[in-house]
Amino acid sequence: MAVKKATPKPKAKPTKPKSTEKRGFFGQLMRFFWKAFMWFNIISLFFIVLYKFVPVPFTPLMAIRYFENSADGKDIETKHDWVPMEDISKNLQKAVIASEDGRFFEHSGFDFKAIQNAAVGNFKGKRLKGGSTITQQTAKNVFLWQGRSYIRKGLEAYYTFLIELIWGKERILEVYLNSIEMGDGIYGAQAATQHWYNRDCKSLTRMQAAGIAAILPNPRKFKPNGSAYISRKQSKIARYILMTKLKY
231-246 exposure pattern, b = at least 16 Cβ within 10 A, e = fewer: eebbeebbebbeebee
pLDDT tens-digit readout, 44-60: 999 999 999 999 999 99
In this prediction, residue 111 carries a pLDDT of: 86
Euclidean distance between CA atoms 111 and 98, whole angstroms: 14
Would you place residue 87 in the very low, low, confident or very high pLDDT band (cuts 50, 70, 90)?
very high
- What is the pLDDT averaged over residues 130-144? 90
* Nearest by Cα to 211 from 184, 173, 241: 241
> Which pLDDT belongs to residue 99?
94
pLDDT band at 194 (very low <50, low <70, confident <90, very high): very high
Its CATH class, for the domain covering 44-243, is mainly alpha
Q: Tell me, what's the pLDDT at 189?
A: 95
Supply the mean pLDDT for the chain.
87
Higher-confidence position of 128 and 233: 233
- 186-187 and 79-80 beta bridge pairing: parallel
Domain boundaries, the chain: 44-243
Convert the pLDDT of each residue in 116-131 to its tens digit. 766 665 555 555 555 7
Global pTM value: 0.84
The pLDDT score that the predictor gives to residue 21 is 60
Q: What is the pLDDT of residues 26-42, one digit of tens each?
A: 778 888 888 988 999 99
pLDDT-derived band at 15 (thresholds 50, 70, 90) equals low
Q: What whole-number distance in Å separates Cα of residue 92 and Cα of residue 96? A: 6
